Homo-oligomer: A and B are copies of this chain.
Amino acid sequence: MPTDRPISFPKLKVACHLCSLSQLCVPAGLDRVDVERLDRMIERRRILRRGEQLFRVGDRLHALYAVHSGVLKTSVLTDEGDEQVTGFHLPGELVGLGALGSERHGCTAEALDTASVCELPLEGLEKLAIDLPSLNHQLHRLMGQEITREEKLVLLLGKKSAPERLAAFLLGLSERLACRGLSSHEFNLSMSRKDIANFLGLTLETVSRTFTHLQAQALINVTGKHVQITDLKGLQRLPHSRAGATAYRGS
């Protein structure tokens, strides 16, 4: 079996300093020499098919993963067994940071389409972080960002109406795509309406209706998974409070 012989897959070898994502990812802020050491530590790149899970809640924590291509979603489970999507992860983003410093994963990560991830073995990473203060600082930064991201989500779920939630979701995606040099005003959603609804604390039907309504207000254009943002400013300053919701009840 060639799978036992890494030499058969030379392209699986990761090279951070050649990766276009390095400024968004773990290597950001590290100097050349340090990136080389990081590079040597990263074991392999793993390919995931649509629907395949990278890890599940309760799995032992062996490694951290950086998305290299494709999109992942992470989710947690209620006691009753239903899912709450906690995030979608684009290339350059880390998944499973919540488990750092613990023994087991606290969420499940699943590929939404074909995706590849870089595996950062935990043991190596922690050892290297002790040697490289800049890497350690970068890890703190990434964890801090994750906390901040979750706080924003809490705010969204606690305070915003359906149209505001969907608008915030689209704007957030748009911004993150822009950072990756992709179009910020036109893109394809890799997640289903169901996943979006779950993430935003809404039902699938409400998401669908809200897409329609945002389109009726000429803020966006939606056709299935394809989205165009036609009025960025309008989306950003969506009628506060419930006005956005009331507006389309009249039409």
CB within 8 Å of B: which residues of A?
Answer: 76, 78, 80, 82, 84, 86, 97-102, 106-107, 126, 129-130, 133, 136-148, 150-155, 157-160, 198-201, 240
Contact = CB atoms under 8 A, between A and B. Distances in A.
B86 A141 contact: no
B84 A144 contact: no
A201 B161 CA distance: 12
Nearest to A97: B147
Nearest to A164: B78
Number of identical monomers bound together in the oligomeric complex: 2
Interface of A: prevailing SS? helix
Given A101-B137, A138-B101, A145-B102, A153 B154 contact: yes
Contact of A154 (B84, B136, B240): B84
Contacts of A146: 147
A154 B155 contact: no
